Structure 1
């Protein structure tokens, strides 16, 4: 009886390990079809809702610079750069630069608590099913993409940003 149970457990573990290997291979070989944007490419259009239920379509921001940030509440570097983003949003929002901060797959309650804790004023969009994350091929969080007024990606930055870096990035996509 013990040998049979052990055999069943080993078989289950083996099947799980094989499934993980197959998934990893699949994910790596289909990476190109899932996205992975490059500087100079046109930013793919998307529609996401903000915390008030308003829809934001990326193409509606044509003519403005867009600071597109992918983040999560659990991500400490994301949390540290949010106040800097908020400060620079206050400076650049009337100069034709918009921040769209895309939260990746978290419940509204958690996102709202985070927004209140940090007093964030810029649009927080919900990518509940991680569709936009996959469309853009984003892997590490935070990742920020700069989109110029013509809709082209001008920079892709991964990792935590300083306030000086954010200011320079916003300046670079400000409409002339």
Structure 2
């Protein structure tokens, strides 16, 4: 039933919504945590919601790793929020598809509901506390749009 609801929500979810305020959450970085909204004041934050059972997520992880490589030193923060109820499922996925960015676990869907996630993966580009770009699913044209936006935002 949840899958059907996610599918319906994805069909209704608007792509390229005008900037709206983003919900804050803590991002683990090394031994510390940082406020996502505070980080977004210093540079864009790419937030991606994913699950181990998500086929397109297998393609989005290499893309996010490449974003970190290309834009991380220019101020981009990437964080992936996992929605698996069982953390072991996420851990197995990460063994196969390693991440060189922060992972946050949201098994009770608190952040997913706050961001009105409509499908897997769902990504949000946040700058100065505002959601400036959203995508449901993972398609090459969306990835290219995100790269173009980051090129404009970052020196």
TM-score bracket for this pair, using the shorter chain length: 0.7 to 0.9
Report the TM-score, using the length of structure 1 for normalisation: 0.68
- Evaluate the alpha carbon distance shift between residue 105 and residue 49 of structure 1 in structure 2; reply closer, same or farther with a 3 A threshold: farther
Match of 2:13 in 1: none
C-alpha displacement of 1:102: 0.7
Q: Does the Cα contact within 8 Å between 1:89 and 1:122 map onto a contact in 2?
A: yes
Return the alpha-carbon distance in structure 2 between the equivalents of residues 56 and 103 of structure 1.
18
- Evaluate the alpha carbon distance shift between residue 101 and residue 118 of structure 1 in structure 2; reply closer, same or farther with a 3 A threshold: same
Return the alpha-carbon distance in structure 1 between the equivalents of residues 27 and 75 of structure 2.
20
RMSD: 2.7
Q: Which of the two has higher C-alpha Rg?
A: 1
Q: Deviations over 1:13-65 (max 9, x none)?
A: xxxxxxx9xxx9xxx9xxxxxxxxx4311212123668x88544212312110
- Evaluate the alpha carbon distance shift between residue 49 and residue 122 of structure 1 in structure 2; reply closer, same or farther with a 3 A threshold: closer
Matched, 1:81 2:63: no
Higher helix share: 1
Pairing partner for 1:154 from 132, 142, 146: 132
Match of 2:46 in 1: 67
Higher strand share: 2
User: Which protein has greater RCO, CA pairs closer than 8 Å, 6+ apart?
Assistant: 2
Report the TM-score, using the length of structure 2 for normalisation: 0.76
The secondary structure found in structure 1 opposite 2:151 is: helix
The secondary structure found in structure 2 opposite 1:171 is: helix
Unaligned runs of 5+ in 1: 1-19, 29-37
Return the alpha-carbon distance in structure 1 between the equivalents of residues 76 and 25 of structure 2.
18
